[in-house]
Structure 1
Amino acid sequence: MGKHEKERDGFKSRTGFVLACIGSAVGMGNIWRFPYMVSDWGGMTFLLPYILFVILIASTGVIEEMALGRAAKGGPIIAFGNCTEMRTGNAKVGNTIGWIPVLGSLAMAIGYTVIVGWIFKYTFLAITGQIADMGQDMDVIGGVFGRTAAAFGNNFWLVIAVLITAVIMAMGIAGGIERANGVMMPLLFVLFVGLGIYIFTLPGAVGGYRYIFTINPSGLLDPKLWIYAFGQAFFSLSIAGNGTVIYGSYLSESEDLVSSARNVAIFDTIAAMLAALVIIPGMAVGGAELSSGGPGLMFIYLINVFNGMAGGKIVGIVFYICVLFAGLSSLVNLYEAPIAAMQEIFGMKRATAVGSIAGFGCISALMIQGIVSGWMDAVSIYVCPLGAMLAAIMFFWVADREFALKAVNTGREKKIGAWFLVLGKYVLVPLAFVALVAGALLGGIG
């Protein structure tokens, strides 16, 4: 491992690391699910429990996964192995368990590749004016998306999505991932703010703002509200025992993980709120009900709204560029865990690992285009919360107390106390189990 660690790539700055983690966290959940959940559950009625859960998960799970990866200088396979070796003297058990979140990350990446392919196509359609040409004919709008989402319906743009992702990743952590997120994330926020300001000037938008910032106290008594708010926060912060662990492994020991986790949580929440402040008032401007989350919101209903508002063509272009940045940055993160595993476990050079995983991911994504919704549901319901729970168990229960506290406090002036371990053991781990069970019972909660 000594030689391997010397050759290991890494983030060159704390800002680059935080932007990459924000890029990982800011994804489709922020854009096509969060606004819908805010609308469906009544504005601030949903936001209050959501923000509480964001604070809880950022204070435990995000810090824990970053610390686990940094301490191990490796992804889940090496990190889990280190934990079981501490407890039992046997790393093989942890190494084997570590494959679960790695394969989960690959499975999620394959499904996400299909979606990012859609986004590339719709960004092109927006820029070339073809979305504006659809007008407000829902049969036309729905037909275009139906053909795109069909089996083998978007082969060209899917391949483009994989090629661009592979190029970013082949350039390495600092030269590729850090640099790409350093451009995409600031631009995403600037463009979303610009969209929000423009929507604010349109007649009818005030109805959307009024809805977002209204609270219904009786709604807070519904247990399902709290379950869905937790699920949204859980998945939005991208803890699944894979991407955050591997990004943490590239981080210097001089960096303050607690501060980094706080920044990721803050900017992820801001991105979700910006999406809500664009989409919900935008729907109000168009006189439409926000009655659908998921792909239907982004590729059907919003097109109808954009094409009915003043300046809608430009709004559509900016919106899809924002979505493209969010999707691409998340896709890079999802592919990184399996690529890193190929390097760490099989000794592959980075270019070879990227080519192998990207090739497999591309072929698999092409094959599942017609069933991607079911694929993503299965992975998000079962594999992601299982990976998050396993990582938390390894860090808080299997590894020893001294290791956990040292891993978190390295690079930090004001040390975290034992409360962190108590919260992780007795709150985060059970809640990850709740996410797994509730997701299975309710057909997904995030």
Structure 2
Amino acid sequence: MKREKFNSRLGFLLVSAGCAIGIGNVWRFPTVTGENGGGVFVLFYLLFLITMGIPVLTMELAVGRAGRASAGAAYRNLEPKGTKWHWHGWACLIGCVVLMMYYTTVTGWMMSYFVKFITGTFNGLSAEAVPNVFVELLADPFEMGFWMAVAVVLGFVVCSFGLQKGLERISKWMMVALLLLIVVLAVHSILLPGAGEGLSFFLLPDWGRAMEQGLGSVIVAAMNQSFFTLSLGIGAMEIFGSYMKRDHALAGEAARICVLDTFVAVSAGLIIFPACFTFGISPDSGPSLIFQTLPNVFTNMSGGRLWGALFFLFMTFASFSTVLAVFENIIACVMDLFHLSRKKVCIIGCIFILIASLPCVLGYNVWGAFAPLGDGTTVLDLEDFIVSNLLLPLGSLVYLLFCVSRWGWGFDNYIKEANDGQGLRMPRVLKPYFQFILPILILVILVQGLVPTITKLMGA
């Protein structure tokens, strides 16, 4: 079967950036930045994005472009005879499936809130009543299940049309709209009366605040954010490498994806901090920021119904672009493994993900007593822990070792593939760094992500 290719370079960049850009950019990056000294954190974040994120991203893309297949089949095409690197392909498929088991629910939350703002649900509600809208959503398995199903069905319908006519065409329009929306929202927030204080808190280096957190903690937080923001390690980016043309070297393409991803993350802070400081609300983290704090900001704002609707439309695009990208990876993996048609895989995949996503939905209501990682945790927390703290760092380590060790594909083959085409090239002089230092940094991220949770569970 002839391998599909992107219709344009812009299509590749926007689809790949859409995969990297997700809800973590919006509800995690601004909060972690504010907590860790503003510009101090951003400085370290950019440093680690260049020294860790871009190199590992080029490795995923290189495996995909050279192997011309999804993760498992690409490994099989490139690995030395008798080795078992292709087993990681199964881990990539499992990781993408587990990610979608909860990400579709969160995407459903975004869709639900967009509709709520459009239809005026928040009109006339008191400051105390606004946060309860989210509490009521979580308590209703039917409403949550409905919006999750909308996200799943729409995602597989788009992907069923193929790479160019489905994923690329829809993602291009959605990403352009996302970028326009975020500019409009950011400009609006910057013009609010309390914007100066919010921008200072967010962007100006505050070494005092950084020292309060501990410089080591700030560095580790920046390392984690720069690493996880690109969704590396489960083949989500590798699949787009398999659809690439050979016109451009991979370091430059990886850098452009990182620029788009960082632009959205920083712009989200430009939206959130001025708004929160203007209305005297301390920015919180996670879902409570997006679904309880910010709706109160919008309801107090002139034209808040419109601005709230635009914000959640932007959030819907950010999360749904990731859903489409990961669905494409799942579809391509199953097509390569079982030699089924795209239409058949989409039907089977849609049914499977709908069923597999139900535990996350039910974990907030019917199964609310189940706390897999300790008091106050849910099924979503468990699924996110498996993907973010285990499969992403371990998978990235596998890609790294495959590309730089003599037992895998090897550094010479990787660097030749990465530098094929025009544009920014990966220097060969970085070989010792890739072989000896980068694996240690990824292991630090893995251990730092596992130890607190394991210690907590053992203490319980």
* Equivalent position of 1:312 in the other structure: 304
Q: Does 1:33 align with 2:28?
A: yes
* Equivalent position of 1:174 in the other structure: 164
The one-letter code sitting in structure 2 at the alignment partner of 1:196 is: A
* Equivalent position of 1:377 in the other structure: 385
Q: Does 1:412 align with 2:422?
A: yes
1:301 Cα deviation after fit: 0.7
Q: Secondary structure at the match of 1:389?
A: helix
Q: Secondary structure at the match of 2:416?
A: helix
In 2, distance between residues paired with 1:14 and 1:173?
13
- From 34, 37, 51, give the equivalent of 1:42: 37
1:20 Cα deviation after fit: 0.5
CA RMSD of aligned residues (A): 1.8
> Any stretches of 5+ residues in structure 2 without a counterpart?
364-378, 455-460
Q: Secondary structure at the match of 2:72?
A: helix
1:335 Cα deviation after fit: 2.0
Cα contact 1:257–1:408 (8 A) shared by 2: yes
Q: Secondary structure at the match of 1:215?
A: coil
* Equivalent position of 1:197 in the other structure: 187
* Equivalent position of 2:135 in the other structure: 146
Q: Secondary structure at the match of 1:132?
A: coil
Per-residue CA deviation, residues 21-55 of structure 1 (Å, 9 max, x unaligned), is: 11011101100101111121121121111111111
- From 390, 398, 422, give the equivalent of 1:390: 398
Per-residue CA deviation, residues 361-403 of structure 1 (Å, 9 max, x unaligned), is: 1111123212223321332111121111111111222212331
- From 101, 104, 108, give the equivalent of 1:113: 104
In 1, distance between residues paired with 2:289 and 2:148?
20
1:16-415 → structure 2 map (5 Å cutoff):
16-83=11-78, 85-86=79-80, 89-90=81-82, 93-137=84-128, 140-150=129-139, 152-153=141-142, 154-217=144-207, 219=210, 222-290=215-283, 292-369=284-361, 370=363, 371-397=379-405, 398-412=408-422, 415=425
> Any stretches of 5+ residues in structure 1 without a counterpart?
none
In 2, distance between residues paired with 1:150 and 1:425?
49
Cα contact 2:54–2:258 (8 A) shared by 1: no
* Equivalent position of 1:426 in the other structure: 436
Stretches of 4+ moved more than 4 A in 1? none
1:304 Cα deviation after fit: 1.1
1:265 Cα deviation after fit: 0.7
In 1, distance between residues paired with 2:94 and 2:318?
22
1:416 Cα deviation after fit: 3.3
Cα contact 1:60–1:428 (8 A) shared by 2: no
Per-residue CA deviation, residues 312-344 of structure 1 (Å, 9 max, x unaligned), is: 111101100100000000111222222111110
Using a 3 Å threshold, how does the CA distance of structure 1 residues 56 and 151 change in structure 2: closer, same or farther?
Answer: farther
The one-letter code sitting in structure 1 at the alignment partner of 2:314 is: C
The one-letter code sitting in structure 2 at the alignment partner of 1:439 is: G
Query: When the two structures are aligned, how many residues end up with a matched partner?
Result: 432
The one-letter code sitting in structure 1 at the alignment partner of 2:94 is: L
In 1, distance between residues paired with 2:73 and 2:147?
35
Q: Secondary structure at the match of 2:141?
A: coil
In 2, distance between residues paired with 1:163 and 1:420?
44
**TM-score (norm: length of structure 1):** 0.92
1:58 Cα deviation after fit: 3.9
In 1, distance between residues paired with 2:353 and 2:287?
21
* Equivalent position of 2:447 in the other structure: 437
Q: Secondary structure at the match of 2:397?
A: helix
In 2, distance between residues paired with 1:111 and 1:421?
38
Q: Secondary structure at the match of 2:28?
A: helix
Cα contact 1:70–1:250 (8 A) shared by 2: yes
In 1, distance between residues paired with 2:349 and 2:248?
30
In 1, distance between residues paired with 2:425 and 2:64?
19
Per-residue CA deviation, residues 73-122 of structure 1 (Å, 9 max, x unaligned), is: 01211223234x32xx125x122222112211111111101111111111
**TM-score (norm: length of structure 2):** 0.90
